Amino acid sequence: MLATQRTDKWWIEPTLTAFGFLCFVIYTTWRAFSGENFVADNYLSPFYSPLLFENPAGHGLDHSWFGSWPTWVPNWIPKSPAIFILIFPLSFRMTCYYYRKFYYRSFFLSPPACAVEGIKQKNYKGETGFLIIQNLHRYTLYIALLYILILYYDGYHGLFRDGTFGIGIGTIILLINPTLLAFYAFGCHAFRHLIGGKEDCFTCPAGNEKIKYKAWKKVSLLNSKHMLWAWASMIWVALTDLYVMLVSKGVITDLNTWNN
């Protein structure tokens, strides 16, 4: 394993990516299960959005869609509203072509780096075996597109505190979050295909440029920086949550026009 004739430091990249991603996973898991400090006034942490129910402690009532923590939820389910919804963005990211690349490389060592031998699998199946589910990526994309709307809605909420219009650092952070997500999701390979990439000819039969072509061009531009947007949006979502948590705990004070 890890046999190679490469003399350069090929392991730096997969290790760094793995480390960065692990940090995110650990942080997210901790926050998702904590079920606390996800609301600070009119700011809602994106990990908890859409907030279907408030948590048992009664936090986030004005953000929640269906009111208080339902009694029919069995006890063994962690008492955190994030549980219901985190699976969606997670499935989007986990089936994303970029994420696949890096976790196949960093975690499955398949391959760890180019011209470096990973775990030799006699029965290597690629994405034809269990991983065939990756083909459902476009469905997770549809959900992600909904998420962009929801998160903008949260950002919009961030503009009103107790009915008064205003703006705070938190608002800006909350608005940047779905924007980065949009850059990421609109550069998605599945989106690029659906929006126009699946055509063999953009201007046939009459030679006129169609809207499809223009859309495909723009999407392709985003797509060429897909990795960048993947990281930017992922880091930002964690930062947004961190910000909301710290404000909610009172560790920092949000600068805003409402004088707190």
Which spans of this chain sit near ligand FES (rule: CB under 6 A)? 96-98, 137, 141, 188-190, 226
Asked if 237 and 184 touch (Cβ cutoff 8 Å), the reply is: no
Asked if 53 and 39 touch (Cβ cutoff 8 Å), the reply is: no
Q: Which stretch binds another protein (CB under 8 A): 27-35, 58-66, 76-84, 94-102?
A: 94-102
Neighbours of 133 (CB within 10 A): 12
- Within residues 184-223, the interface with another protein by CB under 8 A covers 189-190, 192-194, 197-198, 200-207, 209, 213, 223
Instruction: Count the alpha carbons within 13 Å of 161 in the hemisphere toward its beta carbon.
Output: 17
Neighbours of 47 (CB within 10 A): 24
Strand segments (E) across the chain: 39-40, 43-44, 160-161, 164-165
The count of chain residues that interact with another protein, using the rule CB under 8 A, is 51
Interface map 97-126 toward another protein (x if CB under 8 A): x--xx--xx----xx-xxx-xx-xxx-xxx
Q: Which is nearer to another protein, 112 or 168 (CB)?
A: 112
Asked if 69 and 55 touch (Cβ cutoff 8 Å), the reply is: yes
Structure tokens at 102: 């890096």
Choosing among another protein, ligand FES, none, which partner's interface includes residue 34 (Cβ < 5 to 8 Å by kind)?
Answer: none
Q: Which is nearer to another protein, 1 or 77 (CB)?
A: 1
Rg for the chain, CA atoms, rounded: 21
Q: Which is nearer to ligand FES, 85 or 116 (CB)?
A: 85
- Give the footprint of another protein on this chain (CB under 8 A): 4-8, 97, 100-101, 104-105, 110-111, 113-115, 117-118, 120-122, 124-128, 131-132, 135-138, 189-190, 192-194, 197-198, 200-207, 209, 213, 223-224, 226
